[in-house]
Amino acid sequence: MNQIKENSDKHKHYNRHLDTILDSIADGVFTIDMDFNITYFNRAAENITGISKNQAVGKKCFDVFRASICQNKCAMSKTMKTGKKCINLYLDILNCEGRVVPVSVSTSVLKNCNGEISGGAEIFRDLSTIETLHKEVHSKYNFKDIISKNHEIQRILGILPDIASSCSTVIIEGQSGTGKELFAKAIHSLSGQTGKYVAINCGALPDTLLESELFGYKKGAFSEAKKDKPGRFELAQNGTLFLDEIGDISAALQMKLLRVLQEKEYEPLGATMTVKSNARIIAATNRTLSDLVARGLFREDLFYRLNVVRIELPPLSQRMEDIPLLIEHFIQKFNALKSKEIIDISEDALSILMRYDFPGNIRELENLIEFAFILCHGHVIEAKHFPKNMQDIAVKNNGKKIISSSLPIDQAEENTIIKVLKEHKGNRSKTAAYLGINKSTLWRKMKKYGIT
């Protein structure tokens, strides 16, 4: 009898110690029985939810937390059915005031002395502060769907409102996949124009079809013209017409486009009268128009009509510091599209992407993340989820093996500093000014990376 009492006292003493330990940590902890009734609720859980231990214990966990996954994707329920832990799942709960609280959740099973599952335990961390910082960073580096912390992109974004408020023609040059149309849409959005944004890819259509698409046609203009059809210039009236791959149009069509820019009028196919146009023209090309002019492949007078405002977008290989931001954006995008719950990318996988030169630019990065979503069945994208040739390409382009201990963001920062120093012939004052940091910060970073 005394032995039983002694064991009982030891058990109570142990539980008090356990309660003290669990009440001293910053993460919320609760346990449930097989009927999802809460059996334990620590102090941090009280603070995060605003619900006291006395109120929570005995209630169903889904009545207390009202989480975004309680109804059909309950992590605790899945863990208790499969016995598999859930680690760092991001979700939202509602506190006692009805305020949304972002948390990360990890779950595991509880077993009795016979090794049978008797309930579950969940640890949850309040991410409100981190989420607030994330939103601040996101708003700082996100502008009209353009995501970048790159100095040159930020410089362009700084003058974009001025470009938009003018009615000038704009030419955007940049490699395929650098986001030229995003900038065109941003200019239209900022311009305050009442008309539509209308886009056409000039390199995707033969001349005759492109002409009818641009200028429209009248009924009877050709055998298939059964009724009038408005062209893109008419659809973009009082708005913006985006002419993508302008460098691919023929000499004949260049002449007709020049007339629209000079006279602000055009003739639909089969028409006998001209039509006025006030659509703003934004053109884009993955070729350098001045080079095409020098080679006699593009009209010089049309070039100068288009080249009122010129924006040159750097390739992704020159803005590697944007890769983590873009990856986060694409993970959010594909989670929504594919109903997945991927939350992060591993350091190995990120290292591969940071060492790749991306000939396809942002579009290629987006495709790689989408491919990874197909193969990833957990919560973290790993290197194995990329196409098989990715690591080989990364190694070939960088002359060294990918190592998991590398710090890709530091590597990108080091490369950027070296590049800008070279451009300014080692002048630290000009380099610091270009990077938007003070000289002492530049000196510390140079010392950190051993740059002389």
Distance CA 443, CA 451 (A): 9
Residue 307 maps to a domain: yes
Distance CA 221, CA 346 (A): 59
The chain-wide mean pLDDT, for the chain, equals 84
Q: Are residues 300 and 324 in the same domain?
A: no
For residue range 247-306, what is the model confidence (pLDDT) as tens digits?
Answer: 999 999 999 999 999 999 998 888 888 899 999 999 999 999 999 999 999 999 999 999
Q: Are residues 60 and 113 in the same domain?
A: yes
Other Cβ atoms within 10 Å of 117 Cβ, number? 14
Confidence of residue 446 (pLDDT cuts 50, 70, 90): confident
Task: List the Cα angle 72/74/79 in 5-degree steps.
Answer: 135
CATH code of the domain containing 115: 3.30.450.20
Residue 283 maps to a domain: yes
pLDDT recorded at residue 136: 52
The residues, any chain, with a CB within 8 Å of residue 239's CB and separated by 6 or more, are 188, 193, 194, 195, 196, 197, 198, 279, 280
Q: Are residues 183 and 114 in the same domain?
A: no
Q: Which tokens go with 293?
A: 């002019």
Q: What is the pTM of this model?
A: 0.63
Residue type at position 376: C
pLDDT of 140 above 60: no
Distance CA 370, CA 359 (A): 17
Domain boundary residue, one of 250, 279, 314:
314
Q: Are residues 18 and 71 in the same domain?
A: yes
Distance CA 357, CA 316 (A): 8
- HEC profile for 215-281? HCECCCCCCCCCCCECCHHHHCCCCEEEEECHHHCCHHHHHHHHHHHHHCEECCECCCCCEECCCEE
Q: Which tokens go with 245?
A: 């791959």
CA 241 to chain centre: 26
What is the pLDDT averaged over residues 110-124? 89
Confidence of residue 3 (pLDDT cuts 50, 70, 90): very low
Residue 142 maps to a domain: no
Residue 139 maps to a domain: no
Other Cβ atoms within 10 Å of 168 Cβ, number? 12
Strand partners, 161: none
Residue 159 maps to a domain: no
Least confident of 198-202, 360-364, 405-409: 405-409
State residue 118 phi and psi, 5-degree precision.
Answer: -115, -5
pLDDT recorded at residue 337: 84
The residues, any chain, with a CB within 8 Å of residue 19's CB and separated by 6 or more, are 42
pLDDT of 137 above 70: no
Give the residue carrying structure tokens 């539980």. Answer: 15
For residue range 157-194, what is the model confidence (pLDDT) as tens digits?
Answer: 999 999 999 989 999 999 999 999 999 999 999 998 88
CATH code of the domain containing 245: 3.40.50.300
The residues, any chain, with a CB within 8 Å of residue 9's CB and separated by 6 or more, are none
Q: Which helix (H) or strand (E) holds 408?
A: helix 408-423
Looking at the structure of the chain, the number of domains it has is 3
Domain boundary residue, one of 283, 314, 345:
314
Q: Which domain holds residue 59?
A: 2-126
For residue range 373-394, what is the model confidence (pLDDT) as tens digits?
Answer: 999 988 899 999 999 888 666 5
Residue 107 maps to a domain: yes
Q: Are residues 324 and 416 in the same domain?
A: yes
For residue range 398-435, what is the model confidence (pLDDT) as tens digits?
Answer: 544 333 334 455 666 777 788 888 888 888 888 887 77
pLDDT recorded at residue 134: 56
pLDDT recorded at residue 401: 39
pLDDT recorded at residue 411: 64
CA 142 to chain centre: 9
Q: Are residues 189 and 303 in the same domain?
A: yes
For residue range 89-111, what is the model confidence (pLDDT) as tens digits?
Answer: 878 888 888 888 888 889 999 98
Residue 114 maps to a domain: yes
Give the residue carrying structure tokens 């209630």. Answer: 59
Q: Are residues 309 and 328 in the same domain?
A: no
For residue range 209-257, what is the model confidence (pLDDT) as tens digits?
Answer: 898 899 988 886 676 777 888 899 999 999 999 999 999 999 999 999 9
State residue 291 phi and psi, 5-degree precision.
Answer: -65, -40
Q: Are residues 111 and 18 in the same domain?
A: yes
Q: What percentage of the chain exceeds 90 in pLDDT?
A: 44
